[in-house]
Amino acid sequence: MIRTTITYKNKEYPIIEFTTSEGLIDYIAEKALWDAIKEGYYNNDKECERIDNMIFYYCENNTFEESDEFIKVLINYL
């Protein structure tokens, strides 16, 4: 599990990169990222589509303030 960020319109949003049980890399983000990109996504903005396509799941805002152990449990639950 790697905590990192993605930049959209010069603002950074936290994302978490993790490896699935199948060995694939996936990402979760907080809903703040979805709120930022959703208008563009629905208007066929390619950057917004690219960002959304890489996100596996959007969590409630402030979820990433929880401990790594909590995030690992959340990922396993997804």
Q: What is the pLDDT of residue 16?
A: 97
- Whole-number pLDDT of residue 17: 97
Q: What is the pLDDT at residue 19?
A: 93
Q: How far is CA 50 from the centre of its chain?
A: 12
pTM, entire model: 0.90
Q: How far apart are CA 3 and CA 1, in angstroms?
A: 7
Tokens representing 25 are: 């890399």
**Residue 73's pLDDT is what?**
94
Residue 78: which H helix or E strand, with range? none
* Residue 10 phi, psi (nearest 5): 65, 15
What confidence category does residue 37 fall into, taking pLDDT thresholds of 50, 70 and 90?
A: very high
Q: What is the pLDDT of residue 78?
A: 84
